[in-house]
């Protein structure tokens, strides 16, 4: 609310200053050095610059008040950090559609690594996934335009758009040094967030029924979808569960809390935030419900980020699950989205996430109890296996997944220990 009021005040002052006498634009350019950071004086400076653009810039079509104000706000937020962003009305609507698991785009989740736009994860069943893009691929150009000066938010704007339109990505694969153009066609991306729920094939001589569920991201329907799949697996006699959060880029905070809440008692602390505003706690629902008490392993890797780190961190700190795999990405900052009066919005980093045990997630990640890694070839084979799963169902082909195998071993060991004690 405070940010929204500040923005309205800013726009109001800006409008008054811009419409003021043109004498403002004709004042002497040299002004005394200021010793204080005065908001009014800086707004005057911004308004003067805007008026000069309106008055003298060669291309009048680019000098509309709305365009100039939005460009100023975009620069204002983009310079803060990679996750703060100004969204015009169209992009704000796209973001809202994204959280509902449907949007127009390529299905490529991107991040910034070492100043280079990098693929964090190609979402399954999307153009980026089918084109063979892999985590770690570097996007050098979008439609021939270098990404060197683009931040993550600006890149996402270029990747998304109308379904049916083609986009050419120039991709460099660091592992081979190969640079290749990929022409992809945008689609309406419908992303079911809960996948592959099943009872894994038993590993003789054990008869343990180990369930498996993979969550690809955390959106509005995720917790409900997960609950339904868990109910089905429990009816099949599931003894233990592997919750796979590998390559999960996160999503909604509320969804992360609700997913963790599937395995925790009511009113349990899942995560808390600290920032400029007072600390805030996020807890599981207070509504009584049956608690799923079977042994649990959470699978993570370097591309498990944001909301998926909240789930893993909470279940780890509260001794509810073993975490197996790799240390997570370490994206643990809070972005608040504040709607502005003209239908646009400001996404602003306002705090950082801490696990129930007061461990900072941001730039640290969540470390596993049991470290298990995939070689580059194994990871490529696993992603290709998922990409071709329809053909696999016909051919009966299988894939070696050492991380999943290690998770199953850990669960069987846990069940054996509980049986003998």
Which residues does the annotation mark as catalytic? 306, 317, 331
CB atoms within 10 A of CB 218: 28
- Alpha-carbon distances, residue 227 vs 215, 222, 269, 350, 397 (angstroms): 12, 9, 20, 31, 30
Closest CA to 152 of 108, 187, 186: 108
Handedness of CA 63, 66, 68, 70 (dihedral sign): negative
User: Which residues, at least 6 apart from 156, have a Cβ–Cβ distance to it below 8 Å?
Assistant: 110
* Closest C-alpha to 299, from 240, 369, 363, 362: 369
Beta-ladder partners of 281? 272
The 3-state DSSP class for residue 63 equals coil
399 touches 198 (CB < 8 A): no
Which residues have C-beta within 8 Å of that of residue 145, sequence separation ≥ 6?
158
With beta carbons less than 8 A apart as the criterion, state whether 41 and 74 touch.
no
CB count within 10 Å of CB 34 equals: 9
End-to-end CA distance of the chain, in Å?
54
Strand partners of residue 87: 345
């Amino acid at each position: 609310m405070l940010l929204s009021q500040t923005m309205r005040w800013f726009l109001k002052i800006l409008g008054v200053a811009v419409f003021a006498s043109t004498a403002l634009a004709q004042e002497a350019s040299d002004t005394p050095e200021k010793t204080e950071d005065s908001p009014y004086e800086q707004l005057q400076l911004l308004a003067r610059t805007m008026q000069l653009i309106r008055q003298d810039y060669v291309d009048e079509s680019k000098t509309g008040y709305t365009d100039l104000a939005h460009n100023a706000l975009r620069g204002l937020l983009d310079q803060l950090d990679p996750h703060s962003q100004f969204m015009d009305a169209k992009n704000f609507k796209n973001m809202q559609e994204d959280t509902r698991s449907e949007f127009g785009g390529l299905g490529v989740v991107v991040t910034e690594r070492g100043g280079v736009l990098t693929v964090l994860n190609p979402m399954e069943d999307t153009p980026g996934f089918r084109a063979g893009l892999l985590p770690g691929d570097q996007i050098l150009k979008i439609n021939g335009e270098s990404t060197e000066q683009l931040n993550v938010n600006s890149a996402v704007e270029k990747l998304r758009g109308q379904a049916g339109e083609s986009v050419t990505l120039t991709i460099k694969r660091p592992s081979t040094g190969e640079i290749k153009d990929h022409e992809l066609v945008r689609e309406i991306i419908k992303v079911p967030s809960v996948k592959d729920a099943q009872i894994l094939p038993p590993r003789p001589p054990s008869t343990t029924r180990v369930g498996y569920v993979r969550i690809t991201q955390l959106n509005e329907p995720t917790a409900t979808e997960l609950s339904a799949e868990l109910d089905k697996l429990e009816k099949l006699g599931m003894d233990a569960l592997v919750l796979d959060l590998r390559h999960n880029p996160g999503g909604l905070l509320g969804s992360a809390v609700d997913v963790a809440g599937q395995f925790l008692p009511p009113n349990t602390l899942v995560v808390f935030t600290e920032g400029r505003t007072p600390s805030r706690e996020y807890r599981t629902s207070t509504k009584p419900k049956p608690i799923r008490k079977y042994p649990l392993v959470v699978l993570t890797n370097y591309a498990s980020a944001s909301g998926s780190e909240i789930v893993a961190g909470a279940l780890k700190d509260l001794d509810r699950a073993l975490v197996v795999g790799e240390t997570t990405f370490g994206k643990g900052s809070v972005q608040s989205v504040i709607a502005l009066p003209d239908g646009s919005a400001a996404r602003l980093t306002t705090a950082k996430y801490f696990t129930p045990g007061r461990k900072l997630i941001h730039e640290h990640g969540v470390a596993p109890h049991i470290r298990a890694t995939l070689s580059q070839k194994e990871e490529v084979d696993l992603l290709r296996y998922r990409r071709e799963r329809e053909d696999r169902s016909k051919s009966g082909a299988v894939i070696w997944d050492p991380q999943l195998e290690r998770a199953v071993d850990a669960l069987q060991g846990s069940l054996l220990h509980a049986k003998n004690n």
